[in-house]
């Protein structure tokens, strides 16, 4: 079962209610009806569809159970697709989970090296070497990186300076050139 099939199935109210009842332990038709509040004519097609699709399986005469294997397979497929999508959106594994395209998803909090890598990427992608920028221009250029995140462009500008990616002097900002494995401002 694909994640899409699972989602489509559970978008139907009757299917979702029957599946939930079975997942919570209702295993007979009477228990499913009592738990869901559905009538037999409403529940019967939902039960049949869930059986055909493999989300629930017979568990002895007149008893049903959730097919944990089918759910596990759908979850694994969804995880693989998420990973593939993340790789497509950010080919650099060091930036994955932090940068998506030209948006800063989040900043690493506990890993200084990764934080510097992410900030260095933002700086090198945004600013040209050997060019000075005024404060307003820097903030405006950083604004797209902050769309939909909890980091604002002014804070990002400060982080870039504090972490040595940008040099600030008399209101002018300049991209810091790398010096070997570390950096000096």
DSSP 37: -
Q: Domains in the chain, start-ordered, CATH in brackets?
A: 3-71 (1.10.10.10), 99-175 (1.10.10)
Give residue-wise pLDDT tens across range 37-73.
Answer: 999 999 999 999 999 998 999 998 999 999 999 888 8
Predicted local confidence at residue 37, as pLDDT? 96
Residues 147-168 have a mean pLDDT of 92
Q: DSSP string spanning 98-118?
A: TEETTEE----SS-HHHHHHH
The count of other CB atoms within 10 Å of the CB of residue 127 is 21
Between CA 25 and CA 103 the distance in angstroms is 44
Residue 23 and residue 6 in contact, taking contact as beta carbons nearer than 8 Å: no
Predicted local confidence at residue 81, as pLDDT? 86
Q: Which residue has the higher pLDDT, 183 or 139?
A: 139
Between CA 163 and CA 24 the distance in angstroms is 51
Predicted local confidence at residue 183, as pLDDT? 44
Predicted local confidence at residue 178, as pLDDT? 65
Name the strand (E) or helix (H) holding 169: strand 166-169
Residues 74-96 have a mean pLDDT of 78
Give whichever of 40-49, 103-112, 145-154, 176-185 has the largest mean pLDDT.
40-49
């Amino acid at each position: 079962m694909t994640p899409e099939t699972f989602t489509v199935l559970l978008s139907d109210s009757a299917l979702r209610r029957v599946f939930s009842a079975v997942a919570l332990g209702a295993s007979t038709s009477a228990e499913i009806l009592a738990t869901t509040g559905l009538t037999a004519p409403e529940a019967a097609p939902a039960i049949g569809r869930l059986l055909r699709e493999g989300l629930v399986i017979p568990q002895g005469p007149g008893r049903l159970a959730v097919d944990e294997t089918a759910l596990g397979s759908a979850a694994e497929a969804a995880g693989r697709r998420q990973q593939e999508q993340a790789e497509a959106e950010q080919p650099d594994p060091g930036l994955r989970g932090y940068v998506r395209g030209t948006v800063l998803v989040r900043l690493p909090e506990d890993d200084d090296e990764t934080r510097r890598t992410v900030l260095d990427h933002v700086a090198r992608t945004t600013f040209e070497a050997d060019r000075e920028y005024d404060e307003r221009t820097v903030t405006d250029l950083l604004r797209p990186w902050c769309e939909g995140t909890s980091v604002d462009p002014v804070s990002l500008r400060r982080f870039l300076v504090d972490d040595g990616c940008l040099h600030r002097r008399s209101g002018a900002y300049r991209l810091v050139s790398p010096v070997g494995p570390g950096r000096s401002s």
